[in-house]
C-alpha cells in the first residue's frame, strides 16, 4: 500500500511561478511583499495560459489540502478571493466564447461516444494503447496525478446543491469513487498504487512544477464548477462527460499498461474504471441528469456547457501531448528521473 493510505500528508510545497500573475499570488501566500494581480492584469492574461492557470490552481488548492507553511486562514482571505474571481471571469468568459453553440444533452453526450474506425483514433488513449512507450505512460500518469489524486473531491461539492433523484444517484456514484467505504479501494488510492508501479512518487501535488501548462485548465475547470452553486448544472455536465468517456478510454489504457508490463496495480486502476464507469454512465444519464432536469429544466444549457467545455479542454491537452510524443519529445517541464521499480 502506498504512503497516502491511513496517514494525513502535509500539503505540497508552493510551486515555482510561471509569470507575474502566479508570482503575485505565490508571494502573498509566502508572506512576502508584493503586488497581487488586479482586474486589469487578469483581463489582459491569456485565458488558457500557464500563468493564469497556475495562479488559479494555487488559489483553488486552498480549498483542498493547502500548502506547506501556508495558514488555513488564507482560504477565505478577501483579497485572494477577489483575485480568484477576476481570474475565473477571464477563464469562464473564454470558455463561453469558445464552446460550440448549445444543443440537447443527449446530442452533446452522444458526440463524446463517436469512435473512429479501426485503431488509428486521434486520441491519447488510442496512441498509448497501440504505440505508446513506457516513458510516455509514466509522463501521462505524472501529469494526470493532479486530477486523479483528488478524484471525486470537486464533484462532491455538488451534492448539497441537488435533491431527490439527482442527489441520491450522485451520492451512489461518489460512494463507489471513494472506495465504497474501504480506503484502499478509493480511486485516488488506486491511482497512487498505479504511480508506484510506474516508479513515480505518490505525494499529492508532487508533479505540479513538471506539468505542462495545457493540463492546468483541465484540473481548474472542475474546481471552478464545483465551487460555484450557480454552475451546478455545468458541474453535472463535467461529471457526465468524464463518466461517459471513461469506460472505453480506460479499456485502451489497461491494454497499454499490460502491453508495457507496467504492473498489476497500474492495470487495476483502469480495469476498475472499465467496469464501474460503464454502470456510472447509465446512472448519471438517467438519474443524475434526468433528475436534475426534471427539477430544474432551465439548467439543460448549463449541463451541455459543462460537457462541451470539458471536451474542449481535454481535446486541447490531447493535441499537445500527441504532437510531442509523435516526435519523441517529453511533454513535461522537467524530467521525471528514475525511481527503482519493484516489477522490473
What confidence score (pLDDT) does residue 327 get?
96
- Residue 312 Cα distances to 38, 95, 164, 235, angstroms: 28, 9, 31, 15
**Tally of CB atoms within 10 A around 249:** 21
Contact 228, 161 (CB under 8 A): no
What kind of fold does domain 103-326 have according to CATH? Heme Oxygenase; Chain A (1.20.910)
Cell (9 digits) for 168: 441520491
* DSSP-assigned states of every residue in 218-240: HHHHHHHHHT-GGGHHHHHHHHH
d(CA 55, CA 17): 8
- Residue 80 Cα distances to 5, 22, 26, angstroms: 32, 12, 11
Positions in the chain short of pLDDT 70: 1-10, 114-121, 277, 338-344
DSSP state of 115: P
d(CA 322, CA 320): 6
What confidence score (pLDDT) does residue 344 get?
41
For the chain, give every domain's residue range.
Answer: 20-97, 103-326
**Tally of CB atoms within 10 A around 219:** 23
Return the ∠ at Cα 155 (arms to 174 and 304), rounded to 5°: 115
The radius of gyration of the chain's CA atoms, rounded to the nearest angstrom, is 19
DSSP state of 100: P
| All residues at 6 or more sequence positions from 10 whose CB lies less than 8 Å from its CB, including other chains | 68
DSSP state of 113: T
Contact 214, 279 (CB under 8 A): no
Region at 19 (left for phi over 0; alpha for psi -120 to 50; beta for the rest): left
Helix (H) or strand (E) holding 10: none
Q: Coil, strand, or helix at residue 6?
A: coil
Contact 276, 251 (CB under 8 A): no
Amino acid at each position: 500500500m502506498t504512503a497516502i493510505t491511513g496517514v494525513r500528508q502535509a500539503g505540497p510545497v508552493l510551486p515555482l511561478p510561471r509569470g507575474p500573475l502566479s508570482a503575485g499570488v505565490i508571494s502573498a501566500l509566502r508572506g512576502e511583499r508584493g503586488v497581487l494581480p488586479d482586474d486589469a492584469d487578469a483581463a489582459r492574461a491569456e485565458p488558457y495560459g500557464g500563468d493564469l492557470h497556475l495562479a488559479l490552481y494555487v488559489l483553488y488548492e486552498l480549498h483542498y489540502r493547502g500548502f506547506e507553511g501556508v495558514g488555513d486562514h488564507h482560504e477565505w482571505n478577501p483579497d485572494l478571493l477577489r483575485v480568484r474571481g477576476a481570474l475565473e471571469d477571464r477563464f469562464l468568459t473564454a470558455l463561453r466564447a469558445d464552446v460550440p453553440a448549445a444543443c440537447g444533452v443527449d446530442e452533446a453526450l452522444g458526440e463524446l461516444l463517436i469512435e473512429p474506425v479501426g485503431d488509428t483514433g486521434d486520441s491519447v488513449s488510442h496512441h498509448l494503447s497501440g504505440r505508446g512507450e513506457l516513458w510516455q505512460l509514466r509522463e501521462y500518469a505524472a501529469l494526470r496525478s493532479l486530477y486523479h489524486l483528488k478524484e471525486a473531491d470537486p464533484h462532491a461539492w455538488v451534492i448539497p446543491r441537488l435533491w431527490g433523484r439527482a442527489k441520491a444517484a450522485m451520492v451512489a456514484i461518489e460512494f463507489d469513487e471513494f472506495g465504497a467505504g474501504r480506503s484502499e479501494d478509493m480511486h485516488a488510492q488506486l491511482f497512487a498504487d498505479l504511480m508506484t508501479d510506474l516508479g513515480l512518487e505518490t505525494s499529492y501535488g508532487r508533479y505540479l512544477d513538471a506539468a505542462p501548462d495545457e493540463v492546468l485548465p483541465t484540473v481548474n475547470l472542475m474546481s471552478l464548477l464545483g465551487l460555484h452553486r450557480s454552475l451546478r448544472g455545468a458541474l453535472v455536465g463535467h461529471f457526465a462527460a468524464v463518466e461517459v468517456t471513461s469506460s472505453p478510454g480506460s479499456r485502451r489504457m489497461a491494454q497499454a499498461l499490460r502491453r508495457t508490463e507496467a504492473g498489476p496495480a497500474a492495470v487495476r486502476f483502469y480495469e476498475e474504471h472499465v467496469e464501474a464507469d460503464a454502470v456510472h454512465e447509465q446512472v448519471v444519464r438517467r438519474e443524475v441528469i434526468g433528475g436534475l432536469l426534471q427539477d430544474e429544466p432551465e439548467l439543460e444549457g448549463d449541463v451541455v456547457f459543462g460537457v462541451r467545455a470539458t471536451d474542449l479542454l481535454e481535446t486541447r491537452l490531447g493535441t499537445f501531448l500527441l504532437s510531442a510524443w509523435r516526435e519523441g519529445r517529453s511533454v513535461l517541464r522537467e524530467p521525471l528521473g528514475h525511481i527503482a521499480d519493484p516489477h522490473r
